[in-house]
Each structure stands twice: as C-alpha cells, then as structure tokens.
Chains A and B, each alone.
Chain A
Amino acid sequence: MSIKQFIRERFFPHMWCPGCGHGVVLNAMLRAVERLGLNKNDIVMVSGIGCSSRISGYVDFHTLHTIHGRALAFATGVKMSRPELNLIVPMGDGDALAIGGNHFIHAARRNIDMTAIVMNNRIYGMTGGQYSPLSGHGILATTAPYHNIDQGFDIVNLATAAGATFVARTTTYHVQQITDILCDAITHKGFSVVEIMSQCPTYFGRKNREGGAVEMMKLMKDRTTPIGSKAFQENPDLIQRGIFVKRDQPEYCSEYHKVIEKAMKGR
C-alpha cells in the first residue's frame, strides 16, 4: 500500500523551500499512520501558523489549520467533543513554544490524549528568519543581527516538567526513528510530545553559516546521540534523542467521563 493514499495530490507541489526538513516529517508521519493501520476518517490534524503548520493542507485527514499558537486549544475542543478520534497536532517551535507556550504546558498538564509534534528548526521561517525561543544564545537571525541573547528552551525538559506522559526527540536525519517514535506516540494514551529537529537551510542555515540541507542534516547526525549512549557519557554537550518519558497516568477525556458518571448519578 502506498502512502500516497494519505495525501491530497492536487494540492502539490508543496510550498516549502528546497531542502526544508518539514517534508521529511510529513513523509515519516504518513508512514507511521500507514504502519498503525489508522482509518483516515478517524484522524484529525490540527495545526497553527507557520511553515510547519502548512503540513495539514497536504494530508487527506480531517484538517484544521488554525491561528498562531492555538492549535492545541482547538485540538482540545475537537478531542473533548469526540474522544474516539486520533488527534495529531504538528507545530513549529515558535508556534508551539512562544505564542503557544501556555497552551502547550496546559495540554501537557491535563494529559489529554493527542500527539503534539514540534518541528523545531529554531527559526521563524514563514516571516523570513527571526529568532525563536529555540534558537539559543549566540545565534544570528534577522531580528538578532549582532547575536541572540535569549536562552533557548529544552523542549524535552519543558514537556516533562509540564506533565506530558510521553516525551521524545529525534531529527529529520533519523527518518526511521521519526516513524518509530510517532507510532509509539500516537498509540500512547495521553499527551505525547515529539520534538523533531528540522533544518531550515533558507534562513537558519544561511544566517549561521551551517551550509545547505545536506550539511545541516549531517550536523544533526553529529550533534545528537541515543539516550544514555557511551558517546553521551564522553561528551555531555551532545543532544540526546529517543524516548525520554513514557508513563501511565489517567487521561483527561477518561477522567471527564468519570465526572459525567458522577453527575448523572446525582453526585
């Protein structure tokens, strides 16, 4: 079976720049959906605003392209009103963690069953290369022409602290790991956060002299290592990838169902 069945072919070619990592995420995500054997009618994809959020237009699911930063809030309404649906919420780093940071931590705290994908390219691409809360100190951007003085978030630590019950990280270089992790994340009952480090050669790469797409992907290969690897013991500056958190905790919609049962019994 081809993953072509999951895309809206008439809306291609896509609008992402040559070399953008987001297409890799799209591909790997569709392979996860295929592997899980999900019914297209049971998947709702909710996205916000930015390059990453355009992913929803290309897939043949129920797709909701919303406003900047609020995808998780819209998704909460969809999920709470139809708990049996599978919710996938792809977001950019600025979308999820700057303007949408509050919704991100609260969705995690509730442990509502959905899969939040943060496509982290450390830049605002759609608006032309401004620094994001994931850019990190010292980075150059169109709004940091000298250098960025903001410290970056660690998405894994943030999601873990906020209460997400599934937290993972991988990169667009590790294509098969994306699919593996997304299968786990989508099947997990609770709030899943998957950070996928992605390259933006057009803005981040050019501004910070990281080269083109191939060079940037090689950097992601060199700068990351599996969780707890020997390489990490020797060089703690490496970024770990893999599944950091996977734990059971009552899921929000199930908990609300208990409220309904109590209310219907007259408390």
Chain B
Amino acid sequence: MSDIDTGSQEAGDRGKTLESGMPSSEIKFIQGNEVCVEAALYAGLDFFAGYPITPSTEIAEHLSARLPQAGKTFIQMEDEIASICAIIGASLTGHKVMTATSGPGFSLMQEALGYAVMTEIPSVIVNVQRGGPSTGLPTHASQGDVNQARWGTHGDHAIITLTASNHQDVFSITVDAFNLAETYRTPVILLFDEVVGHMREKVIIPAPGQLPLVERLRTSVREGIDYHPYLPREDGRLPMSDFGGVHRYNVTGLVHDMWGFPSGNPQVVQGLLRHLVDKINNNAREIARYKTYFTEDADCMLVSYGSSARSALHVVMNRRQRGEKLGLLELQTLWPFPAHVVRDVCARAEYVVVVEMNMGQVLEQVKLAVDKAQKVFLANRIDGVFINPTDIRNILRLIQGKGV
C-alpha cells in the first residue's frame, strides 16, 4: 500500500514503524481500553485517579492491578472532580499522571481541566465517549464530545486533543499524549470512543525504547536561588520544580505573575493568556498527527477520525478496487485543529465528506479550513449505532446525484 502515508513521518520525530516479531515486543489481543493502559504504563504513568463510568471503567480496573505491581499509585476517588484534582496534585510532585472517564464525568472535570491549563500542569485525561447529552447512551457509540474537549472549560485557552481508530494507533497516540503533556506543560485529552474502547483487536506492544518518551523538563536552578515557576525560557518552555523539592513556590488558578502570585496587572494578564494560547496554537504543525490513504489523486476525500475512520477506510479500499478515486484523511490530532493539513490534502478534491458520529462538529472545522465550504458534506450517524460502510456509501450516492 504505497499510497498510504502517515503524516506523523513528515513531522519527523515520531516513533519508528513497528516491526512485528522483534524479540522484546509483545503481541496481545485486547480491548482498546486495555491498550490505553499498556501505553500509559509504557509512557511512564506513575499515578492514576479515577471514578467508575461506562465505557471507560476497564482503564481504572486494569490500572488498579497494574500500578501497584510497579510500586506506583492507583486511587479510586469519590467522583470525577476529585479524580482530576488528585492527578493534578500528583503531577506537581513530579509524576506522570492520568485519569479516565466518559461524557458525564468529563463534564464534571471541566473546571479543574481549566485549572490544569492555567497552572500549566502536565496531565492526560482520557474520555471514552458515549452518547450524550446527560446520561445519554452509556454503552453506545458516539463522537459528540469533540467541541466539549475544545471549549468545555471556561475562558480563552488552547488545548491538545488526540484520538485514534485502531489499537496500534491507540497505543502510539497514548504515548504521544504523555509526551505532548510534558513538552507543552499542558493537559492533553485523549478522545476515544465506545467502539475503540471495547473492541478487541491485535496490538503489538513495542519493546522498551522503541517509542521515544519525553521526560519532564526540570529546572536547573539550584537550591537557595530564586526559581520562577512561570518565567518561560526563550523557547517558550517552562522548566518545572517538583512540589516537595528544594524550591517553594505558589501555584494558583488566578491570573498570576512569574512567581505564581495573583496579579491583575493588565500587562501580566495579557501576557499570560497569550502565552497559554500561543504555546500550543503556534505549534499546531508540530502537534498535528494524521494519516492519509490514497489522497494524492482523490476526487472524493473522506475526512474522519476515531472508530468512524475504520468504516471510512473500508469504503475507500472497497471503492478503489472498482477504480473510484476515493481517499481518506484520518485525523488523530483534533485540537489544535490541523487546518493546514485539511486544506492541503483536500485542495484537489471535488468534494469532501466528513464521516463522524455527531451532528457535524469536525464538519464545521473542515468547512473553515478548505477553500470552498460548499464542497464539504457530512456523513454521520447520531443514533448510537456505529456508522458502517453502507451508511457512508448511501450518502456518497446522494452527493454524487445517484439517489438512494
């Protein structure tokens, strides 16, 4: 499949292609939620706090067994609010942390998510999506939380949100989430869905060292010398000092100066907000993860992500055999939205069809990214049923003027 290219390779610093059969890698046949657990442990997860909620609970269950085996910490908190608060506290002491939830729990986490954004605390928040709003469809497929991941917490901010459609990618993107959280000192949201979370599929657990890991950037300021927790270096990164270590400083969700002390100085306010947004949005190209399938000569470009992309890929492969020029752009970074990728990949397509299980949350972003918004269509399902290739083909027929 020479036409298949992963955008990540363009980015340059991603993991090498996995070679099956490597002596120390391991093949497993497990649920997506378990893959997320394996990847988090691979990335160096030290601390997990969570609360049971379908369809993410298996992540907590497996970690409750695995973390203490490695001398690390699992705690089941009294709710999702407490869970995200606990991981933020644990991250401050110098640990890699994660929590996992689904829609209702993710809603509860939004205030503390903003706190992690404001205080720049590396953390990974997994949302295995269910149908919403409210209790919605706990055991059904949906991708309705894309915009919540972007704008769920209040105030201007930037956020990183990643997703994946198959277990091998769930593994690598989960490792990536930890790496990006450390690189940009930010919470990173892993937006999986019920299909990926509960499906069993083969996955190769890479050998240690096969995927690059980013460790925390710690300050080189010595004990007794003033350490400024919120004074960015020239490259915009802020070295951290572990809570409980030799530098004592203040962390607050209030707008703060370089000391971490509350400030209402307009210059400080503007500077902090710009920093929080720019450190992520100015690196949108570095953060963009995506895959392309037969996109070079495609007349019809499907754009999809998560489990929906599995059906979209099936349609593309199937139609290519019949000579139809279909292509697929599979997004793995949802936020910051990789508009430059969408614009470039979709430039030559006559029409673009966004395949997703919501009422058009990524559709709107694609419309904004391409030259002609009129050429962008939506192929979706919102009834809790996994969108299948026939659903997509039926909508393609309509777009092509062939009727149902």
Check if A78 is an interface residue, CB within 8 A of chain B.
Answer: yes
Evaluate contact between A77 and B81: CB separation under 8 angstroms: no
Please classify the interface of chain B as helix (H, G, I), strand (E, B), loop, or mixed, using the class held by over half of its residues. mixed
Evaluate contact between B90 and A80: CB separation under 8 angstroms: yes
Evaluate contact between A102 and B78: CB separation under 8 angstroms: yes
Please tell me which stretch of A54-62, A152-160, A241-249 contacts chain B, meaning at least 4 of its Cβ atoms lie within 8 angstroms of it. Answer: A54-62
Assembly CA distance A260 to B74 (angstroms): 10
Please tell me which stretch of A67-75, A188-196, A225-233 contacts chain B, meaning at least 4 of its Cβ atoms lie within 8 angstroms of it. Answer: A67-75
Check if B46 is an interface residue, CB within 8 A of chain A.
Answer: yes
Check if A235 is an interface residue, CB within 8 A of chain B.
Answer: no
What residue in chain B is nearest A264 (Cβ atoms)? B69
Evaluate contact between A57 and B46: CB separation under 8 angstroms: no
Instruction: Give per-residue flags for B63-77: 1 if the beta carbon is below 8 A from chain A beta carbons, else 0.
Output: 001001101010101
Q: Which chain B positions have C-beta within 8 A of A73?
A: 77-78, 81-83, 85-86, 89
Q: Which chain B positions have C-beta within 8 A of A61?
A: 248
A227 CB, nearest partner CB in chain B, Å: 30
Q: Which chain A positions have C-beta within 8 A of B251?
A: 63-65
Check if B49 is an interface residue, CB within 8 A of chain A.
Answer: yes
| Contact A81 B93, CB 8 Å, known A42-B244, A67-B115, A76-B82 | yes
Q: Which chain B positions have C-beta within 8 A of A84?
A: 244
The B-contacting residues of A in range 208-267, CB under 8 angstroms, are 256, 259-260, 262-264
Check if A88 is an interface residue, CB within 8 A of chain B.
Answer: no
Instruction: Give per-residue flags for B236-249: 1 if the beta carbon is below 8 A from chain A beta carbons, else 0.
Output: 00000001111011
Check if B253 is an interface residue, CB within 8 A of chain A.
Answer: yes
Q: Which chain A positions have C-beta within 8 A of B243?
A: 44, 62, 64, 78, 82, 85
- Interface hub of A11, A46, A82, A256 (most chain B Cβ within 10 A): A82
Evaluate contact between A81 and B73: CB separation under 8 angstroms: yes
B250 CB, nearest partner CB in chain A, Å: 5
Evaluate contact between A75 and B248: CB separation under 8 angstroms: no
B298 CB, nearest partner CB in chain A, Å: 47
B377 CB, nearest partner CB in chain A, Å: 42
Check if B111 is an interface residue, CB within 8 A of chain A.
Answer: yes
Evaluate contact between A77 and B49: CB separation under 8 angstroms: yes
| Contact A264 B71, CB 8 Å, known A74-B86, A78-B93 | yes
Total interface residues on A, CB under 8 Å, equals 39
Assembly CA distance A50 to B252 (angstroms): 13
Assembly CA distance A220 to B247 (angstroms): 39
Q: Which chain B positions have C-beta within 8 A of A202?
A: none
Q: Which chain A positions have C-beta within 8 A of B112?
A: 67, 70
Check if A174 is an interface residue, CB within 8 A of chain B.
Answer: no
Evaluate contact between A81 and B46: CB separation under 8 angstroms: yes
Assembly CA distance A57 to B367 (angstroms): 47
B61 CB, nearest partner CB in chain A, Å: 14
Q: Which chain A positions have C-beta within 8 A of B86?
A: 73-74, 76-77, 80
Residue from the list B90, B252, B262 in contact with A81, Cβ < 8 A: B90
Assembly CA distance A41 to B223 (angstroms): 11
A37 CB, nearest partner CB in chain B, Å: 17
Evaluate contact between A260 and B71: CB separation under 8 angstroms: yes
Evaluate contact between A63 and B248: CB separation under 8 angstroms: yes
Assembly CA distance A65 to B253 (angstroms): 7
Check if B196 is an interface residue, CB within 8 A of chain A.
Answer: no
Evaluate contact between B78 and A106: CB separation under 8 angstroms: yes
Evaluate contact between A64 and B92: CB separation under 8 angstroms: yes
The A-contacting residues of B in range 14-39, CB under 8 angstroms, are none
Evaluate contact between A57 and B250: CB separation under 8 angstroms: yes
B63 CB, nearest partner CB in chain A, Å: 12
What residue in chain B is nearest A85 (Cβ atoms)? B244
Q: Which chain A positions have C-beta within 8 A of B252?
A: 57, 65
What residue in chain B is nearest A253 (Cβ atoms)? B73
Check if B79 is an interface residue, CB within 8 A of chain A.
Answer: yes
Evaluate contact between B93 and A82: CB separation under 8 angstroms: yes
What residue in chain B is nearest A256 (Cβ atoms)? B73
| Contact A66 B85, CB 8 Å, known A40-B248, A106-B78, A263-B65 | yes
Evaluate contact between A44 and B250: CB separation under 8 angstroms: no
Q: Which chain A positions have C-beta within 8 A of B245?
A: 41
B190 CB, nearest partner CB in chain A, Å: 19
Check if A103 is an interface residue, CB within 8 A of chain B.
Answer: yes
Evaluate contact between A62 and B248: CB separation under 8 angstroms: yes
Evaluate contact between B81 and A70: CB separation under 8 angstroms: yes
What residue in chain B is nearest A263 (Cβ atoms)? B68
Evaluate contact between B78 and A44: CB separation under 8 angstroms: no
What residue in chain A is nearest B254 (Cβ atoms)? A65
A267 CB, nearest partner CB in chain B, Å: 9
Assembly CA distance A66 to B252 (angstroms): 6
The B-contacting residues of A in range 94-130, CB under 8 angstroms, are 102-103, 106
A50 CB, nearest partner CB in chain B, Å: 13
Evaluate contact between B254 and A74: CB separation under 8 angstroms: no
Evaluate contact between B250 and A82: CB separation under 8 angstroms: no
A201 CB, nearest partner CB in chain B, Å: 24
Assembly CA distance A42 to B243 (angstroms): 9
- Interface hub of B46, B243, B250 (most chain A Cβ within 10 A): B250
Evaluate contact between A264 and B68: CB separation under 8 angstroms: yes
What residue in chain B is nearest A106 (Cβ atoms)? B78
What residue in chain B is nearest A71 (Cβ atoms)? B85
B132 CB, nearest partner CB in chain A, Å: 23
Check if B95 is an interface residue, CB within 8 A of chain A.
Answer: yes
The A-contacting residues of B in range 207-258, CB under 8 angstroms, are 243-246, 248-254
Of the A-B pairs whose beta carbons lie under 8 Å apart in the complex, a sample of 9, sorted by A's number, is A40-B248, A57-B250, A64-B89, A67-B112, A73-B78, A76-B89, A80-B47, A81-B90, A256-B73
The 4 closest A-B CB pairs, nearest first, are A77-B89, A77-B86, A73-B85, A263-B68
Contacts A40-B248, A41-B246, A78-B93 aside, 13 further interface pairs with beta carbons under 8 A come to: A41-B248, A57-B252, A57-B261, A62-B248, A63-B248, A65-B253, A67-B111, A80-B75, A81-B73, A81-B89, A82-B243, A256-B68, A256-B75
Q: Which residues of A contact B (CB under 8 A)?
A: 8, 11, 40-42, 44, 46, 56-57, 60-67, 70, 73-82, 84-85, 102-103, 106, 256, 259-260, 262-264
